[in-house]
Chains A and B, each alone.
Chain A
């Protein structure tokens, strides 16, 4: 049903932009931010070094935002993730520094600790019925206190475990160099492009086979080229600095798993069902409480992963680590198009949202804007993003 092709290319593009403005808004925002910061920082912002840095910096917010997407889809909220990340990061530091446990054992322990935290909060919310807002606000206080407690003697705990610190600072060992470019990044980038093209074409064939509406061929190719160019650009940027960072690998794996789970599994369908209409979901035989518990457990685990990435990045656990992460994570979701009334959201878009938020932090830092102004600017952008969402969904 390529009926739109008959209208001509431009009208179709215009129709597409108009009807999907919400989906494209974050890309437009990202492009504007990149251009503006590129100008204001005399190109420093766009240097391979800074962009690699930006991606690594986004890592800990990105993984938390991915899990937060689920929480917001099912119409809940988690305000405790910031200090939960700080606290779990500090416990990781203590396990490694004071108990001498190697990082590859510490990390699973911390992730399990995160799951336990999420299960406790989730149980209070779904079984006792305390609203998520209240429960997680209380736990934010608790983790803030616990963080102070475990760091009270030592103050900031420096981490010397090189393996641990590499997660947010290191790069995947390279396989070679071509003209000053790191080969691995290029290969991975090329593979990603091939995978994208193959899966998109396959998808399109499938849709056509079952008579679903698809975009016309020229538009399809344009989209494909654009996406391929974006991946290519990222690959080249990474290759021209120090190659593929471990953070990218972690974020990519997390995003892939969550995306797969939401789109391809029964669990994912049930999450969207509960978010879209909890009463209908219950009557469809879905155990709403179980779904809530799962989402909070996943959130706890990703808070712990965020805590690990952040501690690794700073190579230490600070006494105030994690402050304000919850807002960055929630803002990433909303900028990425998760509906404020639940039921709608994609983790891939949330990653773009996280990139928008962290580009702001990074760019403003480069420009030498004080942290006080940064808070105000981020707060304003957060409100504008949500207001736009609310307006665009109004009938």
Chain B
């Protein structure tokens, strides 16, 4: 009889309009390293949030059986008390407190009513040693790099006597050495009897370390495999295969025009992450072409778009050049990029795309008010005429363009965002997740608009995490992983498996694991 530390039975979790988890079954043996894999949006993080009590008992259906007993967590505090610790991608450490303060934050070692700092430091040292982190416990978290911060998180979990560790993409922001170090640590903890669940997109790591691999797809368990025998191809085959539920408008095959935008050896460093986020990227987009940019979360696609778009204060360009219609350019800021004909629609409309409290008219014209200026003054009549024509051509559903953007649906907000890009008269449109979070009908409309724009000669780069969308819309596809372009695929060659293989390819992997 197998000894399961955890069994999640028939877990179903719905959000308004979406079934994020659909009768998921998930079993973890005591003392194993269990990897959870799946595409973006497959439900991995949601499942772990259910387990750790972020989604409390009653907000989902099904049973969590931990150590043989049904659990009813009201919060993460309850799951922690039971010995389950989650380490999410966004680390939950307080940057300006020291390591030892962070480790014992929330479960301080007390001496009567006061904190016993001496004991705290002694204990902190003990746990740091366990995670093989050789630093002074009084150092501030801020002064550690991400890889070491992660180890502190694990030390913190251990200090709470965690028996089951959940790591959500722990290596995605680490360099190679730190990743190896972390995996080694997981093996040591396993020897000490700690069970780990690891969510990862790096399939190489997964086949290296996993005792068991479970694949989720579209909120359902596809299969569980023995980690000793599974190959990367097996995993990929199970990850893909989403049904083509959305229909794509027919895209007429046309000869693309001249190259509109070209990047050569584009290498970008992010000082805040102390990491090269884009490494010798070469790509080109032609007039009249829709180019898909596929890749998993954290592959560097948004960073690529932002770095093209002149977001220089945050990123440091190490090498490379950018050519617009063959002419070398450099963009100091987004305004320079806009004037050169590059427009960018961000993935997160609410946070940094639109001014929600203002109306449609305001948002559409804000990037190019010069086009409406007569002397000092904005010609409001001309503005109304022009924005009305965008409303009609894009079918923005609204009583009038004086409607505040916050009152529009996601699909209509996206159309406003597109209109805003077009109003600057661009040559190249960088669209970051153009259909995320909008309903099927609105998606179809956005696709139709994109097709029309390409037919009119615009170059469209579509960043998307939705594989069917990439396959259904793109004339050509680039796949990114870990800041590099790992492959370029034509529309004819493209299949989900081909793309997923490229998206999970890492620097050091030769395609040896490729037995079909």
**Which residues of A are interface residues toward B (Cβ below 8 A)?**
1, 206, 210-213, 264-266, 269-270, 272-273, 276-277, 279-287, 343-344
Closest 8 pairs between A and B when the two form their complex, measured CB to CB: A279-B352, A285-B335, A276-B355, A266-B369, A284-B367, A285-B338, A277-B355, A285-B334
B363-401 interface code vs A (CB 8 A; 1 in, 0 out): 001110110010011101100110010000000000110
Least CB distance from B310 to A in Å reads: 9
A269 near B335 with CB under 8 A, answer no
**B400 contacts A344, C-beta separation under 8 Å:** no
User: Is B377 a contact partner of A273 (Cβ separation < 8 A)?
Assistant: no
- Give the docked Cα–Cα distance between A210 and B399 (Å): 12
A286→B366 contact, CB < 8 A: yes
State the B residues within 8 Å of A (CB): 309, 333-335, 337-339, 344, 346, 351-358, 362, 365-367, 369-370, 373, 376-378, 380-381, 384-385, 388, 399-400, 402, 420, 424
A sample of 17 cross-chain residue pairs with beta-carbon separation below 8 angstroms, ordered by A number, consists of A1-B399, A210-B385, A211-B400, A213-B402, A264-B376, A265-B376, A265-B378, A266-B369, A266-B378, A269-B378, A272-B355, A276-B356, A277-B355, A277-B356, A283-B353, A284-B420, A286-B366
Q: Are A283 and B346 also in contact (CB < 8 A) when A266-B370, A266-B378, A277-B355 are?
A: yes
Provide the bound-state CA to CA distance between A272 and B358, in Å.
9
Given contacts A276-B357, A281-B355, 17 further A-B contacts (CB under 8 A): A213-B399, A213-B400, A266-B370, A266-B373, A269-B366, A273-B358, A273-B366, A276-B358, A277-B354, A279-B351, A282-B352, A283-B309, A283-B353, A285-B337, A285-B367, A286-B335, A287-B335
B403: nearest chain-A partner, CB-CB: A213
Least CB distance from B348 to A in Å reads: 9
CA distance A212 to B383 in the complex (A): 14
Q: Given A210-B384, A277-B355, answer yes or no on A264-B377 (Cβ-Cβ < 8 Å).
A: yes
A286, chain B: closest CB distance, angstroms: 7
Given A269-B362, A284-B366, A206-B353 contact (CB < 8 Å) = no
Measured CA separation A391–B344 after assembly (Å): 36
Distance of A266 Cα from B357 Cα, bound (Å): 18
Q: Are A283 and B356 in contact (CB under 8 A)?
A: no
Quick one: closest B residue to A282, CB to CB? B334
- Cα distance A269–B370 when bound, in Å? 11
Q: Which of B352, B365, B399 contacts A277 (CB 8 A)?
A: B352
Query: Which residue of A264, A266, A280 contacts B355 across the interface (Cβ within 8 Å)?
Result: A280
B452 to chain A, nearest CB (A): 24
- Nearest residue, chain B, Cβ from A203: B380
Asked whether B377 lies within 8 Å of A265 as measured between CB atoms, the reply is yes
Interchain CB contact under 8 A, B399 and A269: no
Interface of B is mostly: helix
> Which A residues are in CB contact (< 8 Å) with B399?
1, 213
- For chains A and B in complex, what number of residue pairs have CB atoms within 8 angstroms? 82
Is A287 in contact with B333, judged by CB distance below 8 angstroms?
yes
- What is the distance, in angstroms, from B383's C-beta to the closest C-beta of chain A? 10
A260: min CB distance to chain B, Å: 8
By beta carbon, the residue of chain B nearest A285 is B335
- Complex-state Cα separation, A235 to B339, whole angstroms: 50
Residues in chain B near residue A281, CB distance under 8 A: 355, 366
- Chain A contacts for B362, CB-based, 8 A: 269, 272-273
B353: chain A residues within 8 A (beta carbon): 280, 283
Q: Are A212 and B334 in contact (CB under 8 A)?
A: no
A210 to B382, CA, bound (A): 11
Question: How far, in Å, is B286 (CB) from chain A's closest CB?
Answer: 25
**Which residues of chain A are near B369, meaning CB under 8 Å?**
266, 269-270
Closest to B309 in A: A283
Which B residues are CB-close (under 8 A) to A344? 357
A3 to chain B, nearest CB (A): 10
A33 to B83, CA, bound (A): 63
Query: Which B-chain residue is minimally distant from A211 (CB atoms)?
Result: B400
Residue of B nearest to A277 (CB): B355
Cα separation A95 to B238 with both chains bound (whole Å): 83
| A-chain residues with CB within 8 Å of residue B376 when the two chains form the complex | 264-265
Is B377's CB under 8 angstroms from A283's CB?
A: no
- A283 touching B352, Cβ below 8 Å: yes
Q: Kindly list chain A residues whose C-beta atoms are within 8 Å of the C-beta of B380.
A: 206, 264
Given A266-B370, A277-B352, A284 and B378 touching (CB < 8 A)? no
A contact residues around B344 at 8 Å (CB):
283
> Taking the nearest CB of chain A, how far is it from the CB of B392, in angstroms?
12
**Chain A residue contacts of B355, Cβ below 8 A:** 272-273, 276-277, 280-281, 343
Report A-chain residues with C-beta under 8 Å of the C-beta of B334.
282-285
Instruction: Give chain B residues whose Cβ lies under 8 Å from the Cβ of A206.
Output: 380-381
Chain B residues within an 8 Å CB radius of A211: 400
Q: A276 to chain B: which residues have CB within 8 Å?
A: 355-358
CB distance from A56 to the nearest CB of B (A): 31
- Highest count of chain B CB atoms <10 Å: which of A264, A266, A282: A266
* CB of B272 to closest CB in A, whole Å: 15
On whether the beta carbons of B352 and A280 are closer than 8 Å, the reply is: yes
Residues of B contacting A210 in the complex (Cβ-Cβ under 8 angstroms): 381, 384-385, 388
| Distance, CA A286 to CA B384, complexed state (A) | 22
A211–B424 Cα gap in the complex (Å)? 25
Give B427 Cβ to nearest chain A Cβ, in Å.
16
Neighbour of A212 across the interface among B365, B366, B377, B402, CB < 8 A: B402
Interfacial chain B residues near A284, Cβ < 8 Å: 334, 366-367, 420
Which single residue of chain A is at the shortest CB-CB distance from B420? A284
CB distance from B503 to the nearest CB of A (A): 27
Complex Cα gap A265–B373 (Å): 8
What residues of chain B lie closer than 8 Å to A273, measured between beta carbons? 355, 358, 362, 366
Distance in angstroms between the alpha carbons of A213 and B346 in the assembled complex:
31
Point out the residues of chain B lying under 8 angstroms from A279, CB to CB: 351-352
Q: Which residues of A contact B354 (CB under 8 A)?
A: 277, 280
Q: Which residues of A contact B384 (CB under 8 A)?
A: 210
Shortest C-beta distance, A386 to chain B (Å), equals 18
B419 to chain A minimum Cβ distance, whole angstroms, is 13
CA of A34 to CA of B452, assembled, Å: 61
B344, closest chain A residue (CB):
A283
Could you tell me the distance between the alpha carbons of A285 and B342 in the complex, rounded to whole angstroms?
11
Instruction: Give bound CA distance, A1 to B400, whole Å.
Output: 10
